[in-house]
Amino acid sequence: MHRFFAELEPSLSVTEQNLADRVRYILRSNIFGDAELERLRREAIPSSNGNATAGNAAPLDAQQTAYVDAAVNIPFVANSDDDRIVSHELEKMRSILEESILETRSIPLENRPRLPRIPLSKRNRAVVRALNPMLVTYLEASRDLCETDSILFGAALAVCRIIGAKLPVAGRATQKSSAIPAWRKRIEDRIAEARALIGRLTSFRSGNNRPRIMRTVRMAFAGININLFQPDITQKLTERIDDLKQKIAAWGKRIRRFSERSRRFNQNRLFQSD
């Protein structure tokens, strides 16, 4: 389409994307009727080449019609009795597609939102099939792979918006979650309880016989036939404190080991997704 426009108006410098946007605006605004558009399509090729014969004008006319039809005509889609896309929905879908592509072009690659998986249904497949012909104009006007990538991502974003898929909030795509994993929270609670118990045992070993301290010491030696006032109670307290310290060290190593494994897992998953 851009090549034929350049032949008709060589004095005007218009890009492929600008020309495609103008065509869509004219059709969306209903400036010309169907009969007028058909007449313009028939007159475009003969007027652009006055020396063309009737024999070679027909293939050019067919090619021009194919370009225009691919750019602006969207087929009616009907998949089932309850899943149906009508003409006014196609215009709304076209508008959402244009907005999504323009929005994607201005977003850096690393800031693009992560798109969710689309459920497989007749309605969703009908939406994808309806959007495919609309991409022809954008893809033909694409100048490089980066622009093609932004067009395809914008189309996928448009599909998610049309079907109502939940998208992540802008700016949260690269943020890391600050929530503490459940396994780490459980181990940290164990460490905190063990440290508190060590403090109570140490206080009792130093001669603190307050009822609260005594109750905690009895709980620490529950199930063991030990008298808190026997001569070797200091040795028993020291052994219990050392045992708790060893458990705390083991739990700390487990946290570091699990954290390292989680970090490697997230890095590998990010590498595979990118």
The amino acid occupying position 57 is A
Task: Supply angle C-alpha 200, 248, 189, rounded to 5.
Answer: 75
Q: Cβ-count burial of 125 within 10 angstroms (0-12 exposed, 13-18 middle, 19+ buried)? A: middle
Q: What's the first-to-final CA gap in the chain, in angstroms?
A: 36
Q: Provide the b/e sequence for 238-247 (b: ≥16 CB within 10 Å).
A: eebbeebeee
**Domain ranges for the chain:** 2-72, 77-163, 182-273
The count of other CB atoms within 10 Å of the CB of residue 248 is 16
Residues 42-65 pLDDT 10s: 776 554 344 444 444 444 344 434
Token pair in block for residue 187? 């181990």
Confidence band (pLDDT; 50, 70, 90) for 216? confident
Checking if the pLDDT of 86 tops 70, the result is: no
Residue of 106, 78, 94 whose CA lies nearest to 135: 94
Q: Which residue matches tokens 């225009």?
A: 68
Q: pLDDT confidence of 69, banded at 50, 70, 90?
A: very low
Q: What does each C-alpha distance from 178 to 167, 174, 196, 266, 271 come to in angstroms?
A: 20, 13, 27, 14, 21
| Residue 199 pLDDT > 50 | yes
Q: Which residues are within 8 A (CB) of 168 and not within 5 positions of it... i.e. 6 or more apart?
A: 113, 114
Q: Which of 24-33, 101-110, 115-124, 228-237 has the lowest mean pLDDT?
A: 24-33
Q: What's phi and psi for 144, nearest 5 deg?
A: -150, 180
CB 98 within 8 A of CB 22: no
